[in-house]
Amino acid sequence: MTPCDFIALMPLLMLAAGSVLCLLIGVVKPGRYLYAASTIIVILALIWSCAIPAGAVLPGISITPFSRFSSAFLYGTGIIALLLASSYNSRCGIVGEEYPATFLFALTGMGVACAATDLLMLFLGLETFTFAFYILVAIKRDSDSGGEAGLKYLLNGTLSAAILAMGMALIYASAGTLKLAELVQGNSSQEPLFLAGGCLILLGMAFKLSLVPAHLWTADVYQGATAPMTALLSTASKGASLVALLHLLPLFGNWSGLHDIFWLLAVFSMLAGNLAALVQKNLKRMLAWSSIGQMGYVALALVATPAGGVRAAVFYLVVYAVAGMAAFGVIAALSDKDECAAIEAYRGLGFRSPLAGVVLAVAMFSLAGIPPTAGFMGKFVVFTAALRGGEAALALVGILAALIAVFFYLRIVVVLYMKPAEAQSEPVRTLDDSEMASLLLPMVIMILLGVYPQPLLELLEKILS
Amino acid sequence: MLNNYPLLTIMIFLPLAGCLLLLSLWNRTSFARSVAFGVAAVELVLAGWLYGAWRGLEAVPTKLSGYLLLEDATWIPAFGIRYTLGLDGISLLMVMLTAFTFCVALAVSWHAIKERVVLFLTLMLIMESGIMGVFLSLDLALFYLFWEIMLIPMFFLIGVWGHGRKIYSTIKFFLFTMFGSLLMLLAIITLHLLYAKQSGVATFGLPELLHTQLPFNAQLWLFAAFFVAFAIKFPLFPLHTWLPDAHTDAPTAGSVILAGLLLKTGSYGLIRFGYPLFPLAAHAITPLFYTLALLGIFYASLIAFAQDDMKRLIAYSSIGHMGYVAIGIAAWDPVALSGSIVQMANHGVTTGALFCMIGMLDERAHTREIAAFGGLWGKMPLWSFFFLIFSLTSLGLPGLNSFVGEFLILAGTIHKSPVVVVLSFIGIILPLIYMVRLLQEVLFQKERKPLLLADLQLREVAILSALLLLDLWVGVHPAPLLDMIHLPVQLLTGGMP
């Protein structure tokens, strides 16, 4: 390993070392300062990935501009989630060093998944962060729903990991290599065994992205996990999975079945997610179902891969992640001992806690795709890609699903501003500085990307080519 | 000289800048009111200044024929979206109407809005920015952006400060509009892609997209999407059902802006984008457009007759009046189109005035039910005087503004389709029935409930006088306005300028 490789791998090393150190130091001197320390490590990793243009090609891993920026984005969501978790966890009695340590471990896995160049490393990266999530979802030991969510996530997750591993095994059996580059060149993509493996991998990835039909775990896990965790689960985990999926897509060459598979995933995810979200009474469940719908739009962009769909998918995911972060962030910031998740609990909140109200409202408008928020630009890019790819029917379904989505997202805004608070409702807790920062930052990004998305689009253009 | 300054950008973003100022005045409501009104007044002055200067501007040709001012800058080159603004006679009229209506709406809600005042003012100013943007954009993506932005403040305006079933109404309003808008978004993107395929240039600019070669079938589909979006705003029968609810439950300022401006964005969009972009399709659906407009006129008048609530009655009459605007656009004849455009402004002023007056009455009596009133002529002579005049205006009394618009529309349409004109003449009679009934019951009948009603204050008289002066001015001397829109109308309808 040359010094240059070392520099390029530094963010991953920092996170991994940070995770281990957290565990070690935590035994000697536990306390909340570990959260701050971990946050600083992630911030350093983020800055390092963005600022230092070092590349490295190692066996199984290569640091490219794409991997650098995608992992930087994931670290960014991680920072916000950590800021939220820090005070949330101390409020609801999650103490101990294992939380920040596992958290850093999850981010390491994401970084590995972004940089992987063979199937084994990819699997390792994906399962590393999923494994960390099994723990983090169930970390609130006295909570029944947390335990239930952890168990459901574990069972579903191991099944999907098994499917993923089986798919990779089949591909290895067919092509005799695990290196992505060799697999793409090896032109074996039309062999039945290879395709069977590929489809199994797609199913495994559909689970991670919670696309219908592999979505059923989503609502329960989102509801049961602690809110900062749900924030990370619904944004960073989705982002890392999408990046992994993008690594895998070239395997299929120009196999026409891929188009059909994504077509079906997109239609069913958009419709099922948005229709089910209509009837939810719990904000976290509603956001969970709506995130299934949102992932449908990512799949919609991927249907049109030849027509610039990849850029659209990544852009959409970034936009979605920012809004999701803001929405779950508000839930996390407002929750005291108990989680504040029933939609009715948000009555009149826009006036009782103006900052949280505005952030949640902007997040809802962004998720609904209404300008001047980033969500509109996301929808715009996705629909442009879909129409350019000749998917008019799918775009029409997407538009109708978006209309359904407008209704349930607006319902939250209505509750926030147009329904008076109940007389005996408890006072809203005041937010501390780190929470304010972690709510304001996504909101500012939402507005900025909605008004001027050009820099991000240029960046994506550059790193995806 | 004028074109050296980004005047159009200032027109659009001045109210937004005002919002930032308002946010710093969160607890000083009365000062905030003055600031908001001041911003709106500056907009009005700017609009008036543009009106004073339009002849001079016309003498200096811009890159696009018919346009007085143009602004153009790159914005999102990754999509080919540009920041293109343009002002021609039609948009100037709409800009003047917008600036004026916002002054009225802010003045009329001076005392009526007592809760969350600064938020209300902020939303009003955001909406003014959005509406100005709609009337000035020449880039379809930019237009769409403003088109959606103006919805959000209205959504809050009805939902937070409205009465009755306000949440139901505001969601209905938002969903109806979103349905049309989303279809239009798909159509805009498709048009953009088709043009990019033909010319190799990715753009959303209206001047370029006008040159797209579209087969009839494609035109029909794309136009259908635009048409639905604009017809919902218009509102055209049978897509009008959101309007009575939204109007009735909105606060007075909301109703004034809905009737005065938001409906006009529909007809403006059709004139600016729908017809020029898809002429063949537009020609093909003319019979349907006529039919829907006529059905709207008759249907709305009959329903208006059965209303107990004054505001709802005016809301339905509004649908009927917009039917005439629709007929003028459908005819696509220079005279009829001029009539439609003038009528858009007239309807904004007159219906806006009627909503203001009902709002004033509601503030005093806390009811809008026709059956509660009677004998107001004796109790509130000033109010009654204005109400009578505005009612007569909306009926199309010669010498007042609506007459000019309706006359031009029918005179222009008669060459194209005499049957439609004959039917619309019958349609003109119908409002007479319900308006005269309204006047008789509210103004002249014996008092039915003992209500203590004070007459208008100075502020209210000033608002109504301004509105009345405009009505009279356009009614007696419409020539300057017609001159102003003459060139763009000729260019649109393909006649010689």
Residues in chain B: 497
Strand (E) or helix (H) holding B85: strand B81-88
* Among the listed residues B128, B130, B3, the one whose alpha carbon sits nearest the alpha carbon of residue B54: B3
The CA distance from B233 to B319, in Å, is: 11
User: Which of B145, B170, B186 comes nearest A383 by C-beta?
Assistant: B186
Whether B120 and chain A come into contact, CB under 8 Å, resolves to: no
Question: Each residue of A303-336: pLDDT tens digit?
Answer: 988 778 899 999 999 999 999 999 999 999 988 7
* Among the listed residues A377, A13, A334, the one whose alpha carbon sits nearest the alpha carbon of residue B145: A377
Cα separation values, B240 from A410, B76, B170, B409, B432, Å: 21, 35, 14, 22, 22
Q: Which of B171, B203, B222 is the best mutation test for A, with the most CBs of A within 10 A?
A: B171
Which chain A residue lies closest to B184 (C-alpha atoms)?
Answer: A399
CA angle B320, B326, B331 (to 5 degrees): 135
List CB contacts of B116: < 8 A, sequence separation 6 or more. A351, B160, B161
Whose tokens are 């656009």? That residue is: B329
pLDDT of residue B497: 40
Q: Is A458's CB within 8 Å of B167's CB? A: no
Tokens of B139: 């880039």
DSSP state of B139: B
Tokens of A250: 């070239």
Q: Which residues of B touch A410 (CB under 8 A)?
A: 155, 171, 174-175
| Helix, strand, coil tally for chain B in percent (to 5) | 75, 5, 20
Q: With beta carbons less than 8 A apart as the criterion, state whether A388 and A380 touch.
A: no
Question: Each residue of A79-110: pLDDT tens digit?
Answer: 999 999 988 888 888 888 889 999 999 999 99
Q: With beta carbons less than 8 A apart as the criterion, state whether A50 and A6 touch.
A: no
Q: Is A380's CB within 8 Å of B175's CB? A: no
Query: What type of residue sits at position A430?
Result: T
Mean pLDDT over the full length of chain A: 90
With 50 as the cut, is the pLDDT of residue A371 above it? Answer: yes
B/e letters for A296-307, b = 16+ CB within 10 Å, e = fewer, are bbbbbbbbbbeb
Q: Which residues of A touch B79 (CB under 8 A)?
A: 380-381, 384, 457
* Among the listed residues A79, A52, A44, A82, the one whose alpha carbon sits nearest the alpha carbon of residue A68: A52
Q: With beta carbons less than 8 A apart as the criterion, state whether A412 and A418 touch.
A: no
Q: Which residues of A touch B75 (CB under 8 A)?
A: 452, 454
* Among the listed residues B21, B45, B14, the one whose alpha carbon sits nearest the alpha carbon of residue B35: B21
Q: With beta carbons less than 8 A apart as the criterion, state whether A152 and A221 touch.
A: yes
Q: Is B78's CB within 8 Å of A419's CB? A: no
With 80 as the cut, is the pLDDT of residue A426 above it? Answer: no
At residue B205, the 3 state secondary structure works out as strand
Q: What is the 3-state secondary structure (H, E, C) of chain A?
A: CCHHHHHHHHHHHHHHHHHHHHHHHHHHCCCCHHHHHHHHHHHHHHHHHHHCCCCEEECCEEECHHHHHHHHHHHHHHHHHHHHHHHHHHHCCCCCCHHHHHHHHHHHHHHHHHHECEHHHHHHHHHHHHHHHHHHHCCCCCCHHHHHHHHHHHHHHHHHHHHHHHHHHHHHHHHCCCEHHHHHHCCCCCCHHHHHHHHHHHHHHHHHCCCCCCCCHHHHHHHHCCHHHHHHHHHHHHHHHHHHHHHHHHHHCCCHHHHHHHHHHHHHHHHHHHHHHHCCCEHHHHHHHHHHHHHHHHHHHHHCHHHCHHHHHHHHHHHHHHHHHHHHHHHHHHCCCCCCCEHHHHCCHHHHCHHHHHHHHHHHHHHHCCCCCHHHHHHHHHHHHHHHCCCHHHHHHHHHHHHHHHHHHHHHHHHHHHCCCCCCCCCCCCCCHHHHHHHHHHHHHHHHHHHCCHHHHHHHHHHHC
Q: Which residues of B touch A419 (CB under 8 A)?
A: 167
The CA distance from B358 to A29, in Å, is: 71
Beta-strand relationship, B81-88 and A61-63: unpaired
Q: With beta carbons less than 8 A apart as the criterion, state whether A79 and A103 touch.
A: no
Cα separation values, B236 from A94, A133, A354, B227, B322, Å: 59, 53, 39, 10, 8
The CA distance from A346 to B242, in Å, is: 27
Strand (E) or helix (H) holding B108: helix B89-108
* Among the listed residues B461, B443, B323, the one whose alpha carbon sits nearest the alpha carbon of residue B391: B443
Q: Which of B13, B155, B165, B177 is the best mutation test for A, with the most CBs of A within 10 A?
A: B155
Q: Is A458's CB within 8 Å of B193's CB? A: no
At residue B308, the 3 state secondary structure works out as coil
Q: Which residues of A touch B186 (CB under 8 A)?
A: 383, 387, 392, 395-396, 399
Instruction: State yes or no: ipTM above 0.85.
Output: yes
* Among the listed residues A375, A415, A399, A409, the one whose alpha carbon sits nearest the alpha carbon of residue A278: A409
Tokens of B71: 């602004």
Whether B218 and chain A come into contact, CB under 8 Å, resolves to: no
* Among the listed residues B347, B360, B349, the one whose alpha carbon sits nearest the alpha carbon of residue B100: B349
CA angle B157, B158, B164 (to 5 degrees): 145
Whose tokens are 């920012």? That residue is: A322
Question: Each residue of B412-460: pLDDT tens digit?
Answer: 999 888 999 999 888 888 888 888 888 988 888 887 777 778 888 889 9
Smallest CA–CA separation between A53 and chain B, in Å?
24
Cα separation values, A464 from A11, A75, A306, A400, B80, Å: 21, 19, 13, 30, 19
The CA distance from A286 to A300, in Å, is: 21
Angle between helices B29-59 and B7-23 (to 10 degrees): 180
Whether the upstream peptide bond of residue A100 has omega within 30° of 0, thus cis, is: no
At residue B88, the 3 state secondary structure works out as strand
pLDDT of residue B163: 87
pLDDT class of A424 with cuts at 50, 70, 90: low
Q: With beta carbons less than 8 A apart as the criterion, state whether A397 and A264 touch.
A: no
Q: Is A418's CB within 8 Å of B149's CB? A: no
Q: Which of A381, A384, A409, A419 is the best mutation test for B, with the most CBs of B within 10 A?
A: A384
Q: What are phi and psi of B415, to 5 degrees?
A: -70, -35
The CA distance from B110 to B103, in Å, is: 11
DSSP state of B371: G
pLDDT of residue B431: 87
Residues in chain A: 465
User: Which of B79, B116, B152 comes nearest A384 by C-beta?
Assistant: B79
Give the number of other CB atoms < 10 A from CB of residue B347.
Answer: 25
Whether the upstream peptide bond of residue B235 has omega within 30° of 0, thus cis, is: yes
Q: Is B149's CB within 8 Å of A372's CB? A: yes
Q: What is the pTM of this model?
A: 0.93
The CA distance from A235 to A241, in Å, is: 10
Strand (E) or helix (H) holding B74: strand B67-76
* Among the listed residues B14, B129, B3, the one whose alpha carbon sits nearest the alpha carbon of residue B71: B3
pLDDT of residue B372: 85
The CA distance from B199 to B206, in Å, is: 14
- Residues of A at the B interface (Cβ-Cβ below 8 Å)? 351, 365, 370-372, 376, 379-381, 383-384, 387-388, 392, 395-396, 399, 402-403, 406-407, 410-411, 413-414, 417-419, 452-454, 457-458, 461
Which chain A residue lies closest to B81 (C-alpha atoms)?
Answer: A454
The CA distance from A359 to A350, in Å, is: 9
List CB contacts of B237: < 8 A, sequence separation 6 or more. B292, B293, B295, B296, B299, B300, B319, B323
Residues A412, A416, A421, A426: what is their CA dihedral angle, to the nearest 10 degrees? 90
Per-residue pLDDT 10s for chain B (497 aa) are 556 788 899 999 999 999 988 888 878 888 889 999 999 999 999 999 999 888 888 878 788 888 888 889 999 898 889 999 999 999 999 999 999 999 999 999 888 888 888 999 999 999 999 999 999 999 999 999 999 999 999 999 999 998 888 999 999 999 999 999 999 999 999 999 999 999 988 899 998 998 888 889 999 999 999 999 999 998 888 888 999 999 989 999 999 999 889 999 999 999 999 999 999 999 999 999 999 999 999 999 999 988 889 999 999 998 888 999 999 999 998 999 999 999 999 999 999 999 999 999 888 888 888 888 888 888 888 999 999 999 998 888 888 888 899 999 999 999 888 999 999 888 888 888 888 888 988 888 887 777 778 888 889 999 999 999 999 998 899 998 999 998 889 888 875 44
Q: Which residues of B touch A372 (CB under 8 A)?
A: 145, 149
Tokens of B93: 């009229």
Which chain A residue lies closest to B162 (C-alpha atoms)?
Answer: A418
At residue B214, the 3 state secondary structure works out as coil
Q: Which of A408, A414, A416 is the best mutation test for B, with the most CBs of B within 10 A?
A: A414
List CB contacts of B373: < 8 A, sequence separation 6 or more. B361, B365, B441, B442, B448, B449, B451
The CA distance from A71 to A443, in Å, is: 21
B86: β partners? B70
List CB contacts of B382: < 8 A, sequence separation 6 or more. B455, B456, B461
B/e letters for A422-434, b = 16+ CB within 10 Å, e = fewer, are eeeeeebbebeeb
Smallest CA–CA separation between A251 and chain B, in Å?
28
A·B CB contacts under 8 A: 82
Whose tokens are 């009225």? That residue is: B104
